[in-house]
A and B are shown apart, each in its own frame.
Chain A
């Protein structure tokens, strides 16, 4: 087995990395209770920033928008992504995988600007709700497809064939055999798309236009205008939300989070 010294250094290095990952976030959470507007030093404990958050109309508006967009976008992306995932696994396709995975593989920035161009130049669409929705669906489809496809890959397609041979229509076979089997992947995909949508900043930044803000955009303008503990408060709450969602997702599909490629 490895030498004692080696083990020690391994643990030390790992702990250091964990600390690097967590200390900044812990500081954010801690200072959300800081009784100081400048938030440079710890002054005292208070929950007034959370109260201020609850009364902040812009923030509530942005949150409502984010949630609405996230739910609608992830639902649509789940439907389209599932179709894509099953199709990609079952048939030998070239076009669909490329289209679905490009937004995943390319820097988000490129999708954002190309959609901006497309919406304005070709569709003459006023940027707002619909443009954000379409953008979110577009980049989520690939993720859902990958998750669903991975789940199917571990399965024996002959069950499906058997069902067809026994007289079931493709739709019935899908509904009663494939769907229940991939359901965990579906749900994990939905939750993944939900998280991606709630958290998305770069693409939303380009296609949001005026009038519709999402939570990340709101946080961004707060950071640029004035840095107060209110940002810490909203960050803490947002972290709690995504944590819950990811924890739920991992219960349905534990393999999902292990870096599927």
Chain B
């Protein structure tokens, strides 16, 4: 195998280098630049001032001000609510699809995915049309409806993939042993579906934080979320350090939530091991 080794090594580099270099340049480097930018002063006319040593002014400005904490908290709330509502709406649907005969299953999944096929601006626009006459437009309700609508398909799929793998024999056995419907759900189905729930939750929770279009098009002036602030800082105020600092704080928040969720998921796994 020695004669393979060198050629194989070459092949390995040939395969890993191009994508790695590209991504280092356009994912890692920009992230680094953004971190650096958050420690600089704003330029005289916008942008960045020339480097003059690290400045914590942007972070100080954000962290010592209740208004930003408020908006962060509200964004968190919207993300949590959206995830929960999506979960409640998606679960029965995912269950139905999982329990359907194989042929119908693919069709039902496709039917869930089709709305995803439309551009998400269109999906928002649909609600602009529907909520206008109902006088619900430009309100927090509109923002919630929009957020749920845009993200619902992402919750259905991972749930369905998980539920499909559940062994119906488990439920049969439980019923034979006298467990009621609720007990069967809460002590067997739900715990087993936790990995699917976490996967779906991740696909909803994280994107909600970055979605500025929904509050901007469907919400009132007071409904702005952290994503709208970031957009404003970059594109209107041209205060790049502040915008970068906000983005870094957002990233930290998202990573923290993801971390917490993974911890919880791991404990959930331990729980399900006990059941199965």
Contacts and interface: CB of A to CB of B under 8 A. Distances in A.
Q: Do chains A and B touch in the complex (CB under 8 A)?
A: yes
Interface of A: 2-3, 6, 10-11, 13-14, 17-18, 20-22, 24-25, 27-28, 31, 39-40, 79-81, 83-84, 86-87, 90-91, 93, 95-96, 99-100, 102-103, 105-111, 113-118, 120-122, 134-135, 137-138, 141, 145, 164, 169-171, 174, 195, 198-199, 201-202, 206, 215-216, 219-220, 223-224, 227, 231-232, 235, 238-239, 242-243, 245-246, 250, 254, 257-259, 261
B199 A259 contact: yes
Contacts of A79: 18
B205 to A, nearest CB: 10
Given A14-B93, A254-B106, 14 more contacts: A17-B152, A24-B149, A96-B23, A100-B23, A107-B206, A107-B207, A108-B210, A109-B247, A116-B234, A118-B26, A118-B33, A135-B26, A170-B8, A227-B128
27 contacts: A14-B92, A17-B92, A18-B111, A20-B149, A21-B115, A21-B149, A28-B126, A31-B129, A84-B19, A87-B16, A96-B20, A96-B23, A100-B23, A107-B206, A113-B230, A115-B30, A138-B22, A138-B26, A202-B210, A216-B119, A220-B121, A235-B119, A245-B117, A257-B113, A258-B160, A259-B161, A261-B158
A22 B118 CA distance: 11
A242 B129 contact: no
B188 interface: no
Contacts, number: 245
Interface in B1-44: 4, 7-8, 10-12, 15-16, 18-20, 22-24, 26-31, 33-34, 37
Contacts of B158: 259, 261
Contacts of B10: 170
Contact of B89 (A20, A216, A227): A20
B254 interface: yes
Given A219-B119, A242-B117, A242-B118, A117 B7 contact: no
Contacts of A245: 117
Nearest to A21: B115
Most chain-B CB neighbours within 10 Å: which of A11, A18, A31, A91?
Answer: A18
A246 B117 contact: yes
Nearest to B12: A91
B174 interface: no
Contact of A10 (B27, B92, B122): B92
B193 interface: no
Interface of B: 4, 7-8, 10-12, 15-16, 18-20, 22-24, 26-31, 33-34, 37, 47-48, 89-90, 92-93, 95-96, 106, 109-115, 117-123, 125-130, 132-133, 149, 152-153, 157-158, 160-161, 181, 199, 202, 206-207, 209-213, 217, 227, 230-231, 234-235, 240, 243-244, 247, 250-251, 254, 258
Nearest to B153: A21
Nearest to A229: B129
B129 A27 contact: yes
B121 A223 contact: yes
B244 A117 contact: yes
Contact of A80 (B19, B122, B227): B19
A11 B235 CA distance: 47
A17 B209 CA distance: 24
**A-B pairs with lowest CB-CB distance, top 3:** A107-B210, A259-B157, A24-B126
A114 B161 CA distance: 34
Nearest to A96: B20
Contacts of A96: 16, 19-20, 23
Nearest to B155: A259
A220 B213 contact: yes
B83 to A, nearest CB: 14
A122 to B, nearest CB: 6
A91 B9 CA distance: 11
B50 to A, nearest CB: 12
A138 B213 contact: no
A202 B95 contact: no
Contact of A250 (B28, B47, B110, B181): B110
